[in-house]
A and B are shown apart, each in its own frame.
Chain A
């Protein structure tokens, strides 16, 4: 199986290359690698909005649009942008390889 690498740019600008696996969420991959700024306090249930990231480059994947719940949560984040996503709602697939995500300055 080809390995999947995601790049997170933390709030200080530092890059973190993270290995991810199909079946987990992008948030889980970030948490496993302890990427600073990804809090995910609700554990992936789409109720806290603290795993928010900006997608800088989507790799080879065309991400499905956020559903209603995620879209509503994103509006509640401090600085939502068109490229905002909750990483707990993105399942890791092989074509996410090369994805670049920027962690916002604050999740609160």
Chain B
């Protein structure tokens, strides 16, 4: 029942692999790349060929099957994380944790892990909720809004400022720098460089300040964390700040944006989540599986045969997690969004030693934003006259989500500086 239909249209799987570019998947008539990902999965399943060679970006292996991706992620000796992102982001400091291998990775991970456990991230819940309501106040009387730009984008930037102990009104700067690192450098590296230098200077200043006046934020606790007498070096702290920015903002914004788009037309799902708010947590995980925002890369360290293909040391590998998380060998009815899916072992946040450090934070963030938003705007539709936009790149998702709804009333809570700065930023953009 879950196997792909035997009558699937003939496609040239080898050509699909050869043309696979994780930064630029083809967008279908629904405005998303999901028809392409599903077609790719069906073709791979039909030929039982879950690994293939792409000619893009200097050539690399593409892995589309769930067990194959799972095996590679867990094999930290056979596959290096130094190739987690390619082409590489335009940063001069290595991306702490994400690009590190053992034993350096585990040493750093143990220093920061506790700060990202639920007991430590729940302290930000109240501030997150407040920011959602302030942002909603900004458009609730209008009866229309682009909730990609005005809700999904700002919340992760505001949260990142909170957890790093940075001024909330600097949120728009983070957006500006992240865009320079993740998108602009591909098309205009010279234009991106000064922005990235500016970001490092900003972090230098912040780290120096936190060393003298530690706060209760995550960055302060990381600066002062000690395991077996070891602390993070200054360069590592810079790399860590960058990782928090890139990892914290892009993935969360895309997950929230895509979810708001889905809830805009999936009335049944929306009604169900309004009636059963306790299902929101599981729904967020299913949305992560169903619309997995990002693939992850590796570099082969030891000759390894996976899915019938022998990979040689030094070769690049891209784990096509958006496709692998729709593998029928792991997930029953993979193309159905089932919020009560039992034992949902999706790989959207990785697994094994490198499992996403912010996994509890992103789950809480998405749950709170969606729940609070639905309390204010329980009934809305996608605005057919507006422009939907799926942003591609290393991290993909809906970034422009125009909606219409019955105007409501403001709660009138005083607007925080973070939200204020963001609204000014958005009105200029």
Contacts and interface: CB of A to CB of B under 8 A. Distances in A.
Given A76-B360, A108-B343, A108-B345, A69 B114 contact: yes
B386 interface: no
Q: Name the interface size band of chain B.
A: 20 to 34
Given A45-B106, A108-B345, A76 B118 contact: yes
Interface stretch (B192-200, B302-310, B351-359, B373-381): B351-359
A75 B117 contact: yes
Contact of B353 (A47, A75, A107, A108): A47
B355 A41 contact: yes
A68 B117 CA distance: 11
A75 B118 contact: yes
Interface residues of A, number: 16
A80 to B, nearest CB: 10
A69 B116 CA distance: 11
B353 A45 contact: yes
A108 B359 CA distance: 12
Nearest to B117: A72
B384 interface: no
Given A47-B113, A69-B113, A75 B352 contact: no
The A interface is mostly helix, strand or loop, or mixed, namely loop
B9 interface: no
Contacts of B285: 108
A68 B114 contact: yes
Interface string A1-43: 0000000000000000000000000000000000000000111
A108 B113 contact: no
A43 B117 contact: no
Interface string A41-66: 11101111000000000000000000
Given A47-B109, A47-B353, A108-B345, A41 B117 contact: no
Contacts of B109: 45, 47
Contacts of A108: 285, 343-345
A99 interface: no
A73 interface: yes
A46 B106 CA distance: 11
B309 to A, nearest CB: 24
Contact of A41 (B118, B344, B352): B352
A11 B352 CA distance: 22
Interface string B333-359: 000000000111100000111010000
Interface of B: 74, 106, 109-110, 113-114, 117-120, 285, 342-345, 351-353, 355, 360
Interface of A: 41-43, 45-48, 68-69, 72-73, 75-76, 106-108
21 contacts: A41-B74, A47-B113, A47-B355, A48-B355, A68-B114, A69-B113, A69-B114, A69-B117, A72-B119, A72-B120, A73-B117, A75-B118, A75-B119, A76-B117, A76-B118, A76-B360, A106-B343, A107-B343, A108-B285, A108-B343, A108-B345
